[in-house]
Chains A and B, each alone.
Chain A
Amino acid sequence: MIAVQIANALALASLLTLLASGLALIYGLRDIMNFGHGAFYMIGAYIGHSVAARTNFWLAVIAAPAALALLGVVFEYLVLRPLRHRGAIDVALVTFGLSLIVQQVIVYLYGGASLSVSAPASLSGSASLWGATYPTYRLFLIFVGIGGCLLLTAWLRWTRVGMYVRAASQRPEVARMMGVNTNRLGLLVVCLSTASAGLAGVLAGPYLSVDPSMGGTILISCLIIVVIGGVGSIGGAVAASVLFGFIQVIGAVLLPGIAVLTPYMLLIVVLIWRPGGLGGGRLE
C-alpha cells in the first residue's frame, strides 16, 4: 500500500519534473517566465493524441517533442527575440496572452470535450510492486522522469554546451566575452524546454485526461514548483517536483477533502520558512 502511494507520488513528480525543469531552464538562462509553458504541454498532448490515434503511441512519443522543438524555434524567433529588450513582466504577459489564444485554437480544432489516449499494449497491463499490483504505465513514467533528470544533469555538468549554459546563466556578459554564442544557446534551451513540455504532454495522455484546460491547471502547479524550488534552479525544481508529488499524494490519502489545497499550503510554508525558495536561484 505504501509502495503504491510512493509510486503514485513519483509518477506525478516525473511529469512535473519534465515541465518544471524546462521552465526553470529558460528562466535561469534568459530571465523569461514562460506562462505559455502549459500551452506547449497541451499542444504536445493533442499532437500525441492525433498521432497515437492514427499510428501508434511510440511514434507519438517521438513526433510530439520533435514538433514542439520546431515550435520552440518559431517561438524564439517570432516572440522572444523581438521582445528581448522588454521587461520580464511584458514577456510573461505576452506568453500568457498567447496561451489563451492557443487554448481557443485547440477548442476550435478538437472541441472542448475531454479526450483519452490509450497506453501501448506493452505498457497497458499492471506489474507487481512488493505484492501490490500497479499500472505498468506509471512505472514507465517514473522511469522516464528519473532518466530525464539524469540526462539533464549529465548534459549540464559534463558536456561543453552544458558548461556554456551554466556559465551564461551566471554571467551572460562574461560568457559572451569568452566567445560563447548566447543567442544560439538561448535558442537551444528554448527548444529543449518546449520539447520536454511536448514529451510531458504526450506522456500525460494515458495518465491524465487530454482537455483544453489541462495546460492552465498544470501551469499553476509548475509555477508553484518553480517558486518553491527557487526561481531558475534546476536542482531546486526537481526537488520541489518530488516534494509536490508526495504532498499531493499524501494529502489525497490523509486529507481527501482538502487535498487540492495542499500544494498552496506547501508554497506558503516554504516561503515563510525560506523566502528565496529551496535552490540557489541559478542553474547548477
Chain B
Amino acid sequence: MSAPVDVSAALVAKSMAVSRWSAPAALVILAALGFAVPLWLRSSFYLGLANQGLILGVLALAAGFLMHQCRMVIFGVAAFYGAPAYLFAIASLNWSWSPNAAALFAILGTMLASLAMGFAIVRAKPLAFAMLTLAIGQMLRQLVLITGLRPITGGEDGLNIVFNGAFLGLSQSALATPARFWPVAWTVVCAVVLMVFVATRSRFGRILRATRDNEERMRFSGYDTFAPRLAAFALASFIATLGGLLQVLNSSFASPELLDFSLAGNVLVSALIGGGASVVGPIVGGVAFTLGLDQFAASGHLELFTGVAIVIVIAALPDGVEGIVARLARRRGGGDAQN
C-alpha cells in the first residue's frame, strides 16, 4: 500500500527540485541578458525612462519585501530616496569629496540614521509604523526647507551637484547618459534582487513570516522577534538607499521633491503591481509604472495617475496585499510560503 505513496512523494520531490532550480537559473539568464538592453533599446528617451523605472523598482522591491515579509508598510519611503541624494550632494559640494567617497558616505549616513530610527519604530503596530515612517520622511523634507539651512541644502531650489572626479570610472556626463547608466542600474537591480531572493528563502525569511503571522506565538516559542524585524528593516532601508543613490548619480541633483510623500504612492503601487509572488515583480512593476506615468507627464497630472493607479490596483486585487500571500501559500500546497 505504501509503494504508490512513495512514488508520488518522490515525484513531488523531483518536481519541487526542478522548480527549485529553474527559477534561479531563469533569473541568472535574465540578469545576463539585461546588460544587453541598451543594444536593442536605442531610443535614449525610453532607455532613460527604463532607468527611472529600475530605480523605482529598487524602491518597490524594498517596500514590497517589508510589506510581504513583515506586513510593515514604509509610507515614508521618500526619506530613503532623498537622504542619500542630499548626503551625496553635501559631501561633494561642501567637502569636495570624490564621488566614490561621497557615495559611501551617503549609504553609511542613511543606514546609520535608519538603524537608529528602526530601534524606535519596528516595535510599532503596522499602522503606527506606516505613519511613523511617513512622519520621518516629512521631517526630512521640512529639514531641508529650513531657511537657516539654505546655504547647505539649497532650500526649494535644491542642489545641483558637480562631481569631483569619476564614480567607479564613470564621469558625471557618462552617468547622465542613459546607455552608460543602464549597466550601473542593472548591476544594482541584480544585486538587490539576489539579496531579497536569498533573504526570503533563508531561515531568516521563515522567522520573519512566522513573526508576521503570529508574533505572540513566536515569542512564546522562544524566538526573538525584535532583532529579525530590525534586520529586515535595515535590509529594506539599505536597498531603498541604493535606489536613492542611483537616482542622484543619474540626475546629479538633490531637491525637496525627492522627499515628497506622494512618492510612497508610486512605490507601493509598483510593489503591488509586482505582487508578492516573485522578487522580480516589483522591478517589473516599477518599470511598468514609470512608463504609465510618462503617458500622464505631458498633461501634468502625475498625482492623478498615482491616485487612480492605487485605487485600481487595490480594487483589481480582490484579496489585497495579504490575499496575494494567502493565495501563494495555497498554490504551494500549503507548504512553507516563500512570500
B-contacting residues of A (Cβ < 8 Å)?
Answer: 27, 33, 83, 86-90, 92-94, 96-101, 103-104, 216, 220, 223-224, 226-227, 231, 257-258, 260-261, 264, 267-268, 271-272, 275, 277
List B residues 114-169 near A (Cβ within 8 Å): 120-121, 123-128, 130-132, 134-136, 138-139, 142-143, 145-148
Name the B residues within 8 Å of A223 (CB-CB): 131, 134-135
B308 within 8 A of A: yes
Select the stretch in B43-51, B178-186, B299-307 that faces chain A: B299-307
Shortest 4 CB-CB contacts between residues of A and residues of B: A97-B310, A100-B307, A101-B307, A264-B139
Contact of B148 among A83, A88, A258, A275 (CB under 8 A): A258
| Contact between chains at A98 and B135 (CB < 8 Å) | no
Enumerate 24 A-B pairs (CB-CB under 8 Å) in ascending A order: A27-B127, A83-B314, A87-B320, A87-B321, A88-B127, A93-B73, A93-B268, A93-B314, A94-B311, A97-B311, A98-B311, A99-B307, A100-B262, A100-B303, A100-B310, A226-B131, A231-B128, A257-B147, A260-B142, A261-B143, A261-B146, A264-B136, A268-B120, A275-B123
B322 within 8 A of A: yes
Name the A residues within 8 Å of B123 (CB-CB): 275
| Contact between chains at B120 and A272 (CB < 8 Å) | yes
Of chain A, the residue at the smallest CB distance from B124 is: A275
Name the A residues within 8 Å of B136 (CB-CB): 264
| Contact between chains at A97 and B306 (CB < 8 Å) | yes
Name the B residues within 8 Å of A271 (CB-CB): 120-121, 124, 132
Q: Kindly state the separation between the CA atoms of A100 and B142 in the bound complex, as whole angstroms.
A: 20
| Contact between chains at A90 and B321 (CB < 8 Å) | yes
Name the A residues within 8 Å of B261 (CB-CB): 216, 220
> B242: shortest Cβ distance to chain A, in Å?
24
A-contacting residues of B (Cβ < 8 Å)?
Answer: 67, 71, 73, 120-121, 123-128, 130-132, 134-136, 138-139, 142-143, 145-148, 261-262, 264-265, 268, 301, 303-304, 306-311, 314-315, 319-322
| Contact between chains at A88 and B126 (CB < 8 Å) | yes
Contact of B321 among A27, A89, A216, A258 (CB under 8 A): A89
Of chain A, the residue at the smallest CB distance from B148 is: A257
Supposing A101-B304, A231-B127 touch, asked if A260 and B146 sit within 8 A by C-beta, the answer is: yes
| Contact between chains at B320 and A264 (CB < 8 Å) | no
| Contact between chains at B127 and A96 (CB < 8 Å) | no
Contact of A86 among B146, B147, B320 (CB under 8 A): B320
Supposing A89-B321, A96-B265 touch, asked if A101 and B138 sit within 8 A by C-beta, the answer is: no
| Contact between chains at B303 and A103 (CB < 8 Å) | yes
Supposing A89-B73, A260-B142 touch, asked if A220 and B127 sit within 8 A by C-beta, the answer is: no
Mostly, the B contact residues are helix
Beyond A92-B127, A97-B307, A216-B261: 17 further Cβ-contacts under 8 Å? A33-B131, A87-B322, A89-B67, A89-B321, A92-B130, A94-B315, A97-B309, A98-B311, A99-B307, A100-B304, A101-B304, A101-B307, A104-B304, A227-B131, A257-B148, A267-B135, A275-B123
Supposing A257-B146, A264-B139 touch, asked if A227 and B322 sit within 8 A by C-beta, the answer is: no
| Contact between chains at A100 and B146 (CB < 8 Å) | no
Name the B residues within 8 Å of A258 (CB-CB): 146, 148
Contact of B126 among A89, A100, A267 (CB under 8 A): A89
Name the A residues within 8 Å of B126 (CB-CB): 88-89
Name the B residues within 8 Å of A94 (CB-CB): 310-311, 314-315
Q: Kindly state the separation between the CA atoms of A27 and B128 in the bound complex, as whole angstroms.
A: 12
> A113: shortest Cβ distance to chain B, in Å?
16
Name the A residues within 8 Å of B306 (CB-CB): 97, 100
Of chain B, the residue at the smallest CB distance from A33 is: B127
Name the B residues within 8 Å of A231 (CB-CB): 125, 127-128
| Contact between chains at B135 and A224 (CB < 8 Å) | yes
> A86: shortest Cβ distance to chain B, in Å?
5
Q: Kindly state the separation between the CA atoms of A101 and B304 in the bound complex, as whole angstroms.
A: 5
> A223: shortest Cβ distance to chain B, in Å?
5
| Contact between chains at A100 and B135 (CB < 8 Å) | no
Of chain B, the residue at the smallest CB distance from A223 is: B131
Q: Kindly state the separation between the CA atoms of A97 and B267 in the bound complex, as whole angstroms.
A: 12
Of chain A, the residue at the smallest CB distance from B117 is: A268
> B325: shortest Cβ distance to chain A, in Å?
10
Q: Kindly state the separation between the CA atoms of A264 and B130 in the bound complex, as whole angstroms.
A: 15
Q: Kindly state the separation between the CA atoms of A257 and B132 in the bound complex, as whole angstroms.
A: 23
Name the A residues within 8 Å of B320 (CB-CB): 86-87, 89-90
Contact of A96 among B121, B301, B304, B310 (CB under 8 A): B310
Name the B residues within 8 Å of A275 (CB-CB): 123-124
| Contact between chains at B135 and A104 (CB < 8 Å) | no
> A36: shortest Cβ distance to chain B, in Å?
10
